Structure 1
C-alpha cells in the first residue's frame, strides 16, 4: 500500500519540457475530445498540402502529431515508423531542430516498449544535437528521459549525473515548472537512496516551485511525496493525514481517478497506523470501489482504442489505394505520350499489345502487393494480440492481484486485532476478495500459460496435450529434443499458440479419437508434426475458403521464414508438417 506513493516525482518523462514549437490547431481540438480518427484525417490532409508546398519543417511537426496519436493508442510500432520517416526528411533537408525533437520522441517510444538500449541511444543523440544547437530546453527534455530510465534501472551514478544537468539548466533560464522538475528529481533520488534529510530539504524546495508554477498536479505530487516522508521517516501520521486530505480537497469533483484511488489507499494506511480502524475501513472501501470502476474503464478504453485503430487502418488503406491509382495513372499517361511521339507510325498495332501487357503486369503486381499487405495486416493483428496478452496478464498479475492481496492482508490484520468480533460483512468481504483473486489468477494463466513462461515450449506443449485429452479424444506428445531446451521467449509464444490453434481445430472439426504431436530439431530448424485420425478434408476444395485461424497460422509461419504442409483426404485423417527457422 505505502509503496504506491514513492515515485510520483521522478517518473515524469521528457514531455514536461518544451515539445513541438507550433501553436494550437484542429489536431489539439480533436484530441481534447478524444476524436483520434478526425485528428488523423486532418493531419493527413495537412501533410499532403505541406509536402506539395515543400514545407518540410511543418511536415515534420505534423508527423510528430501523428506519431503521438498512435502512441496514445499504444501502437508504438506505427508511431516509430512515422517518426523514422520524418527523421529521414529532417536529415535530408538539414532541419537540425526538428531532427533533435524527432530523435527524442523515438527514444520515448522505445522506452515505452521497454527497449531500453535503443531508448538510451536515441535520447543521447537528441541531447547531443540539442547541445550543438545550444537549445537548453530541448537538451533538458532528453536528459529527463535519460534520468527516468537510469533511475528505474538503479544506475544511480548516471541518474545523478543527469539530474544535476537538468537542475543547472532550470536554474539558469527555466520556468517555475521546470525548476519544480529539477528539484523533484533530487528529492526522488535521495528518497530512493534513503538519504532522508537531503530528500526532505529538496521536497520543501519542490513544494515552493510547485505552488509558484500553479500546477495542481505538480502540487499534489509534491504533497504526496512529503506525506510519504512523514509516514516512513518521522512516523508523523497526523502530518501525513493532513497532506492527503489537502490532496482530496484540492480536487473535490475528482472521486474516481487513479491518483484519487491511491490517496484513498494511503489514507486507509494512515488511519490504520493511528488505530482509527473505522476511518481506515471507510477509505479502504472507497479504494476498492474505485479499483473496480478504474478496471472497467480501462477495459472500455482499450476496446475503444481497438475500434479507433481499426478505423484508422481503413483510412490508411483507402489513402494508399488512391495514391497508387494516381501514380499508376500518371505513369501510364507518360508512357502513352512517349509512345505516341516516338512511334506514331506503329501506334495502332503496338498500342494494343503494349496496353494489354501493361495491364497484366499491373494486375500481377497489384495481386502481389495485396498479398503482402494482407500478410502484414494478419501479422500485425497477431503481434498486437500477443502484446495485449502479455500486457493485460502483467496488469492482472502485478497490479490488480497485488492490490487484492494487500487488501486481504489488511482484513487479516483487522481480524487479528478484533478477535472478539465476528462480522458477517467481514467474512463475506474476505470471500469476495479471494474469489476475485482466484478469477484474476485463472485469467492471467489463460492469457499467458505459466508452464510456457517457466519451463518453456516443450513442457508447455506436453501440458497442452494432457489438458485437452479426455474420454472422447486422446492427444499423444512425442519429444525428440532435450526437455530442458529453451528458445527465445517470443518464438516460444508464437509456436505455442500455433500448435494450440491446430489442436483446437482438431477438437472442433475433425471428429478424431486420437491425435499425435511430435517435435524434433535438426541444426537450426524446428520440426513439428500434427496428425489425427479424424474425418479429414479435401485440401483443394477448401484452399480458397480457409478459416481465419488457418490463414493466421500460415501467415505467421511465413513471417518466421518457415513452411507448412497439409496432407489430408476425406475419411483418412489429416497430417500437418511445420518447419521453422530457430531464432539466433
Structure 2
C-alpha cells in the first residue's frame, strides 16, 4: 500500500495581481487571471500573469499549466527579460514534473538554474534547486535529492525565507519517508509544520499535515492520522485544491485498509482514482490503481471461503499500476506494488512470474535502498551538521568579538566616569576650601569685632548702670545716664547686625 506524498513547487519570483472579481475556487481564480491576461499588451506584466496562471495549474491541470508557462517563456524571450525567462522555464519544469515527464523536468530545471546563476540571483537558484530535488526524489535518486535540498537550505538560512525553509524540510522528510526512516522523516515534518503555522498560509499546513499523517499510519496511530488527514482534506476542499484532496482521500483509504475496513478503503481509493483520471495525472493514477489492487489482495486473504474474483481484481489493478510506473519511471511505489503482485502470483501458483518479479524488485531495491546510497545520505547529513557547527562557531566568534568590543566600550565609559568623578570631587573640595576660608575669615572678623567693638560698649553700659545706681544723683543726671545707655545700646545693636550680615555671606 503506497501512501502518497505531496510535491511542493516554488514560484521563483513572487508577484501580486489585483483582481476586482471575487474568487471562490481555484479554477475561478485561474479564469479571472486568464481574463485579465487577454486584455494586457505584450509587456513584462503579462509575462508575470501568464506565469501565475501556469503556477496555479500545477496541482489542477499541468497540461494546461505547460501551455501558459510556454506562452510566458516565449514572450519573456521576445522582450529580452532574462530573469522572467528563467522563472518561466522553472515553472515549465514544475508542470512537467506534475505530469510525470521527469526527464523534461530535469532538463528545464537545470537550464533555469544556469540562467539564475548567470544573473547572480541566489534566491532563484535556491528555488529551482528545491524543485529539482523533488524530481530526483520521484526518480529514486535520494542522495542527489538530499544534496539539492541542503544546497538550497544553505542559501535560505542567510535570509528570513521561513516558508521556503519549511518546504525544504518537508522535501527532506519525504525522502526519509521513502527510505522508511520514519523518525527522521517525522522530525523534518514537524520542523516544517512549525514554520508553516507561524509564517505561511493554510495550504502549506494542509499539505504538511497530510504528509505527517503517513508517519502516524506507520507507528501506527490511526486516530491521529485520520485527524490530520481530515483537517488537510477540509482545507484543500475549501481552497479548491483537487490534487491535494485526492491525496488525502487516497491516504484516508489507506488508514481504513490498515484497520481492515476494506469497503470504506475501496470507496476512498475509487474517489481518489476518479479525480486522478479526470486530471490526467499518471503518477496518481498509478498509485490509485496499485492501492486498490492491494485492498483486493487483503480482502482475498481475509475471505472465507476464498473469493477468487478478489484475487483476479488484485492482479489486474496491480499489473496496470506497475505498467504506468514503468512508463513514467516512477520507482518508489513500484517496489510496493511488485511485492503485492508477487504475493498474488504465489497465491495463483504462478511461480515463474513470481520469480521474474522478485528479480525486478531486487534490482530496484538495490538502486533505491543500496548501502552506498545510504552511506552517501549519511555523509551529506554529516556534512550538513559540520556546516551548521561551523556556522555556529562563526556566530559564537562574532558574538565574542562583539562582547569584547562592548567590554572595551564599558572600560572607556568607566574610565570617563572616574575622571568626571575626580573632577567633581576636586571642584567640590575647592568650593569647600573656599567656603571654609570664608567661614574662617568671618569667625576672625567676629572675634575682632568682639574683642574691640563689642567689649567697649558693654563696658560703657556696665559703667553707666553702676553710676545710675548712685542714690545721690539728681533726676536730671540720671536721665543723662539713661540716654548714654540707650546710645551705647544702639551702637551695640548695629555691631550685632553687622556680625549677622557677615555670617550670611
Normalised by the length of structure 2, the TM-score is: 0.51
Are 2:155 and 1:267 equivalent residues in the alignment? no
2:9 is aligned to 13
Q: Which runs of 5+ in 2 are unaligned?
A: 328-505
2:167 is aligned to 181
Q: For 1:203, what is the secondary structure of its paired residue?
A: helix
Once the two structures are superposed, the pairs formed by residues 301-450 of structure 1 within 5 Å of their partners are 301=278, 398-415=286-303, 419=304
Structure 1 residues 214 and 247: alpha-carbon distance in aligned structure 2, compared to 1, 3 A threshold:
farther
1:288 is aligned to 266
2:86 is aligned to 100
Structure with larger RCO (C-alpha < 8 A, sep 6+): 2
Structure 1 residues 117 and 250: alpha-carbon distance in aligned structure 2, compared to 1, 3 A threshold:
closer
* Alpha-carbon contact 1:60-1:98 (below 8 Å) kept: yes
Are 2:22 and 1:25 equivalent residues in the alignment? no
Structure 1 residues 35 and 440: alpha-carbon distance in aligned structure 2, compared to 1, 3 A threshold:
farther
Larger strand proportion of the pair:
1
1:45 is aligned to 39
- Among 49, 71, 91, the residue aligned to 1:62: 49
Structure 1 residue 216 displacement after superposition = 4.0
* Alpha-carbon contact 1:127-1:142 (below 8 Å) kept: yes
Cα distance in 2 for residues equivalent to 1:130 and 1:28: 35
Structure 1 residues 33 and 436: alpha-carbon distance in aligned structure 2, compared to 1, 3 A threshold:
same
Cα distance in 2 for residues equivalent to 1:31 and 1:226: 26
Cα distance in 1 for residues equivalent to 2:165 and 2:220: 29
Structure 1 residue 116 displacement after superposition = 4.0
Cα distance in 2 for residues equivalent to 1:36 and 1:289: 30
1:152 is aligned to 138
Are 2:232 and 1:244 equivalent residues in the alignment? no
Structure 1 residues 230 and 247: alpha-carbon distance in aligned structure 2, compared to 1, 3 A threshold:
closer
Once the two structures are superposed, the pairs formed by residues 107-122 of structure 1 within 5 Å of their partners are 107-112=93-98, 114-122=100-108
Structure 1 residue 408 displacement after superposition = 1.1
Structure 1 residue 181 displacement after superposition = 1.1
Cα distance in 1 for residues equivalent to 2:70 and 2:20: 23
Once the two structures are superposed, the pairs formed by residues 529-540 of structure 1 within 5 Å of their partners are none
1:190 is aligned to 176
Structure 1 residue 198 displacement after superposition = 3.7
Q: For 2:28, what is the secondary structure of its paired residue?
A: coil
Cα distance in 2 for residues equivalent to 1:410 and 1:84: 49
Are 2:28 and 1:34 equivalent residues in the alignment? yes
Structure 1 residue 164 displacement after superposition = 0.7
Are 2:165 and 1:169 equivalent residues in the alignment? no
Cα distance in 2 for residues equivalent to 1:253 and 1:68: 19
* Alpha-carbon contact 2:10-2:128 (below 8 Å) kept: yes
- Among 40, 56, 63, the residue aligned to 1:74: 63
Cα distance in 2 for residues equivalent to 1:247 and 1:70: 23
Structure 1 residues 113 and 223: alpha-carbon distance in aligned structure 2, compared to 1, 3 A threshold:
closer
* Alpha-carbon contact 2:206-2:236 (below 8 Å) kept: no
Q: For 2:140, what is the secondary structure of its paired residue?
A: coil
Q: For 1:12, what is the secondary structure of its paired residue?
A: coil
Structure 1 residues 133 and 26: alpha-carbon distance in aligned structure 2, compared to 1, 3 A threshold:
farther
Q: Deviations over 1:216-250 (max 9, x none)?
A: 44445444544544554xxx423x53233343256
* Alpha-carbon contact 1:104-1:142 (below 8 Å) kept: yes
Structure 1 residue 126 displacement after superposition = 2.3
Once the two structures are superposed, the pairs formed by residues 452-531 of structure 1 within 5 Å of their partners are none
Cα distance in 2 for residues equivalent to 1:216 and 1:63: 24
Cα distance in 2 for residues equivalent to 1:69 and 1:203: 24
Cα distance in 2 for residues equivalent to 1:250 and 1:439: 27
What do you get for the CA RMSD once the two structures are aligned?
4.4
Are 2:55 and 1:86 equivalent residues in the alignment? no
Q: For 2:15, what is the secondary structure of its paired residue?
A: coil
Larger helix proportion of the pair:
2
Structure 1 residues 270 and 109: alpha-carbon distance in aligned structure 2, compared to 1, 3 A threshold:
closer
Structure 1 residue 142 displacement after superposition = 0.8
Cα distance in 2 for residues equivalent to 1:176 and 1:435: 46
* Alpha-carbon contact 1:200-1:226 (below 8 Å) kept: yes
* Alpha-carbon contact 2:109-2:128 (below 8 Å) kept: yes
Q: For 1:88, what is the secondary structure of its paired residue?
A: helix
Are 2:10 and 1:4 equivalent residues in the alignment? no
* Alpha-carbon contact 1:107-1:120 (below 8 Å) kept: yes
Cα distance in 2 for residues equivalent to 1:439 and 1:190: 27
* Alpha-carbon contact 1:66-1:82 (below 8 Å) kept: no
Structure 1 residue 433 displacement after superposition = 8.9
Cα distance in 2 for residues equivalent to 1:405 and 1:62: 42
* Alpha-carbon contact 2:289-2:318 (below 8 Å) kept: yes
Q: Deviations over 1:155-201 (max 9, x none)?
A: 33432221112222332223432221122223233334455554343
* Alpha-carbon contact 2:250-2:268 (below 8 Å) kept: no
Structure 1 residues 140 and 406: alpha-carbon distance in aligned structure 2, compared to 1, 3 A threshold:
same
Normalised by the length of structure 1, the TM-score is: 0.45
Structure 1 residues 189 and 291: alpha-carbon distance in aligned structure 2, compared to 1, 3 A threshold:
closer
Aligned length: 317
Once the two structures are superposed, the pairs formed by residues 567-578 of structure 1 within 5 Å of their partners are none
Structure 1 residues 209 and 40: alpha-carbon distance in aligned structure 2, compared to 1, 3 A threshold:
closer
Q: For 1:413, what is the secondary structure of its paired residue?
A: helix
Whichever of the two has the greater Rg, that structure is 2
